[in-house]
Amino acid sequence: MWDRLSICLSIFSIMALSNAIVPILPVYATSSTLQSAIYSAYFLGAFLTTLLGGLLSDKYGRLPVIRFGLGITIISGLLLTVLSPAIIVIGARCLEGIGAGLFVAAAMAHVNSLPDHAKMSGYFMAALNLGLVLGLILGGNLAVQFHTSTGGILLFTIMTLLSILLSIFMMSSPATPEPNTLAIVKSLIYDYRWLWYSSLVLIGITGVVTSLYPKFSGASPDIVGNLIAGMSIATIMGVITISRINPDPIITIQIAAAIMAGSVMLTFISPIGFFFIGTLSGFVMIAQMAFLSKVKDNQGITMGLFSTTSYLGMSLLPFLAGVIADSMTFFIAFCVTACMALTVTFTISRYNCPN
């Protein structure tokens, strides 16, 4: 009970801190490219360390890696409250992502190893997205109400500090080091290649619409935060619903990818598209975790790879979309993103379930 509560509170705090900067991106930079770089730097840092976090959690146990990730997150949050030059902020965001990558891989391995992993993954993802929601809302509203752009960042840094204290309630897991780690990683990459691709694209799309919308809409930080928060609220509804229905994972991903392509274009016309993208991403994440839960051993490595591809998508796709928006138009950026979602519909159907 306590370890489940602790891990949910921790992921909530980390995600809230990560999103608190989104509504205030124009404060740090004026171009879409630089704003997308600040946004994406977090996911680049997570991409670089999440597989390492999975490997370390298998070798040394999950709890030490979870606490180390929380500690790095606190340091980065403190740096972001006092730094303002865009290039330096990019570095601080990358450090924040490093902490998140270590934490998420170990935490997801813990969740997916539980007997009630399907239900617990729903709670975990709901806490994750609730953090994203409040990070957006409070990050934007505190900036407007108190005339301080870093108010939300400071608030959630303090909450992350409280989270690391609550981790004392978590139970330690035994270490399960593997002598042939490289061979295991190669096998998992190949056997689950189409699922990794679906994670990169479909999770990355949520980052695309989030990073493009502040400049695309021209709205104030509080309005942008509230609008984008609707996507994470929809994701909470999606993960709770799908974790209780437990449909076929591959069919779920395939259908969600097709509908997400249309939802991306809907977002270009109306913010209501965020609701559909959020709901569908919730379906996709739970379906992906359910499919990967069949890997009974090496859950640290498996969840590390899952997080790696997710963060790679969140780092790469928003940056590419920002470049396209600056060099061409926002419409082209949205079109390219929608086409990428459609590719998942076809590639995931080619998946061969490993024996």
**3-class SS letters over 268-320:** HHCCCHHHHHHHHHHHHHHHHHHHHCCCCCCHHHHHHHHHHHHHHHHHHHHHH
Domain 2-166+183-350: give its CATH code. 1.20.1250.20
Q: How far apart are CA 302 and CA 288, in angstroms?
A: 11
Regarding predicted confidence, which is higher, 313 or 175? 313
pLDDT at 311 over 70: yes
- pLDDT mean over 203-219: 84
Q: How far apart are CA 151 and CA 96, in angstroms?
A: 17
Hey, how many other C-beta atoms are within 10 angstroms of the C-beta on 307?
29
Regarding predicted confidence, which is higher, 353 or 210? 210
pLDDT at 95 over 70: yes
Q: Counting beta carbons within 10 angstroms of the beta carbon of residue 46, is it exposed (0 to 12), middle (13 to 18) or buried (19 or more)?
A: buried
Q: How far apart are CA 223 and CA 239, in angstroms?
A: 25
Which strand (E) or helix (H) includes residue 266? helix 249-269
Which CA distances in Å does 149 have to 28, 83, 146, 195, 203?
Answer: 10, 11, 8, 38, 27
pLDDT at 200 over 90: yes
- What pLDDT is stored for residue 281 in this prediction? 93
Residue 319's nearest CA partner among 5, 93, 13, 61 is 93
- What pLDDT is stored for residue 172 in this prediction? 64
- pLDDT mean over 184-197: 89
Q: What is the DSSP letter of 171?
A: P
Evaluate whether 274 touches 209 at the Cβ level (below 8 Å). yes
Residue environment code for 65-85, b if the CB has 16+ CB neighbours within 10 A, otherwise e: bbbbbbbbbbebbbbbbebee
Alpha-carbon torsion, ordered 40, 44, 45, 47, to 10 deg:
130
Evaluate whether 200 touches 310 at the Cβ level (below 8 Å). yes
Q: For residue 354, name the pLDDT band (cuts at 50, 70, 90).
A: very low
- pLDDT mean over 98-123: 83
**Prediction pTM value:** 0.75
Looking at every residue in the chain, the average pLDDT score rounds to: 85
Q: How far apart are CA 271 and CA 309, in angstroms?
A: 27
Residue type, 310: S
- pLDDT mean over 238-243: 88
pLDDT at 188 over 70: yes
Q: How far apart are CA 242 and CA 233, in angstroms?
A: 14
Q: For residue 97, name the pLDDT band (cuts at 50, 70, 90).
A: very high
Evaluate whether 20 touches 135 at the Cβ level (below 8 Å). yes
Residue 283's nearest CA partner among 309, 244, 310, 322 is 244
- What pLDDT is stored for residue 204 in this prediction? 93
Residue 95: both structure tokens together: 């450090």
Residue 67: both structure tokens together: 């606490």
Which CA distances in Å does 166 have to 26, 48, 130, 258, 263?
Answer: 35, 27, 18, 41, 39
Q: For residue 333, name the pLDDT band (cuts at 50, 70, 90).
A: very high
Residue 289's nearest CA partner among 239, 255, 345 is 239
Which CA distances in Å does 160 have to 112, 250, 308?
Answer: 23, 35, 22
- What pLDDT is stored for residue 355 in this prediction? 39
